Amino acid sequence: MKKLRMTRLLATSQLNQLVHVREEEIMKLVESLINISREGKSCNLKQEFITMTNNVICRMAMSTRCVEDDANEAKKVKELVNQIVVLGGKLSAGNILGPSAKLDLFGHGRQLRNALEKFDRLVEKIIKEHEDQREMKDMEGSGWRDLMDILLAISGDSNAEMNLTRKDIKAFFLDIIMAGTDTSALTIQWITAELINHQKIFNRLREEIDLANQMEVKGQMFNYLPFGSGRRGCPASSLALVVVQAAIGALVQCFDWEVIGEGKINLQEDSGFSMGIASPLVCCPITRFNPLNKR
C-alpha cells in the first residue's frame, strides 16, 4: 500500500502528470474569491482552502471533485472527514480521563462511529461507480487509471501479492483524504494570516511574484514547514509544497485583504490534530488582478 501511494499518487512523474488538476482547483479558488469580492462580501477562508485542497486530493486519487452540489458524494466525504478530524481530536483528549473514557461521557465516540459509517457508505458508492466505469474503460481501451482503479484491480486479482479487501481500500482513502486535506488547508491558512498581519512582508512577497510574472512563491518562507524528515517524514511533502506555494502565490498576487473586526487576525491556536487558528479567518477579498480575464 505504501509503495502504491508513493509510485501512483505522490511520485514526481505523477505530480507532473496531474499538474492541471492543481492549476484548475487553484483557479476555481481564485474564481470563487473574485465572485465574493465582486459582491462586496466577506468569507471564511479556511472553508475555501479546505474545499480546494480536498478537490485536489479527491481528483488525484479517485477522479472525483467537490462541487457546489449538495448531492455530490465528494462534498459529503469532505464534510464527513472534517467531522471525523474534529471528533477524533476530542476523543483523544478524552483518553486522559483513564478508565472512565470508555464510558463515552460526552458522546464523541458514538458520533465518531456514526461519521465513519456514513463515510463507509459514501465511499462504497464511489467504488461501485469506478467498477462500472472500469468495464467501460476496458471496452474502450482507455489507458488512464487513477489510484482507486489500481486498488480495485489488485483486490480482484487472485494472483496479487497481497489480499486487498474493500475495507482496506476505504481505510486507505480515509487516511489519504484526512492527511491531505486539513493539513495543507491549515498551512495555507496560517501563512495567509501571518502575511495579512505583516503587510511589509506581504508587499515584498508580492513584488517578488510580480517580478517573476508567475504564480509561485520564492524566498525562504517554506524552509521550516513541519514535514519532518527521514523515515518519519511526510510522504506527501512534495505535493503539499507545490499546492501551498501556488495557492499562496495566487492569493497574494490577485487580492488585497480587509480583515473583519479589529484589523488584525487573532492567531490564537485551536485544539485538534492539526492545530489550526481558533478564530474563523474571515476576510473581504479585494480583487487586484483577475487572471480569468486572460482566458
Amino acid at 233: G
SS3 of residue 286 by DSSP? strand
Fold type of domain 2-294: Cytochrome p450 (1.10.630)
Whether 68 shows a pLDDT value over 60: the answer reads no
Question: Is 84:116 a contact under the CB 8 Å cutoff?
Answer: yes
Q: What is the DSSP-derived secondary structure letter of residue 268?
A: P
pLDDT mean over 132-143: 65
More confident residue, 148 or 224: 148
More confident residue, 176 or 71: 176
pLDDT per position as a tens digit, 16-37: 888 899 999 999 999 999 999 9
Check residue 67 and give its pLDDT.
46
> Pick from 178, 184, 272, 172: which is nearest to 227 by CA?
184
Check residue 71 and give its pLDDT.
41
Question: Is 265:193 a contact under the CB 8 Å cutoff?
Answer: yes
Question: Is 245:217 a contact under the CB 8 Å cutoff?
Answer: yes
159 — pLDDT class (breaks 50, 70, 90): confident
Whether 141 shows a pLDDT value over 70: the answer reads no
pLDDT per position as a tens digit, 212-258: 755 444 444 644 455 555 666 666 677 888 899 999 999 999 999 99
> Pick from 245, 255, 189: which is nearest to 221 by CA?
245
C-alpha cell, 125: 458508492
209 — pLDDT class (breaks 50, 70, 90): confident
CA dist., res. 75 & res. 23, Å (int): 20
- Among the ranges given (8-12, 65-69, 130-134), the one the predictor scored with the smallest mean pLDDT: 65-69
Q: From residue 168, how far is each of 81, 123, 141, 216, 280 by CA, in Å?
A: 17, 12, 28, 37, 35
Check residue 231 and give its pLDDT.
63
pLDDT per position as a tens digit, 184-208: 888 999 999 999 999 999 999 999 8
Whether 90 shows a pLDDT value over 70: the answer reads no
Check residue 33 and give its pLDDT.
96
Check residue 70 and give its pLDDT.
41
Q: What are the structural domain ranges in the chain? A: 2-294
Whether 92 shows a pLDDT value over 60: the answer reads no
CA dist., res. 43 & res. 41, Å (int): 7
Whether 45 shows a pLDDT value over 90: the answer reads yes
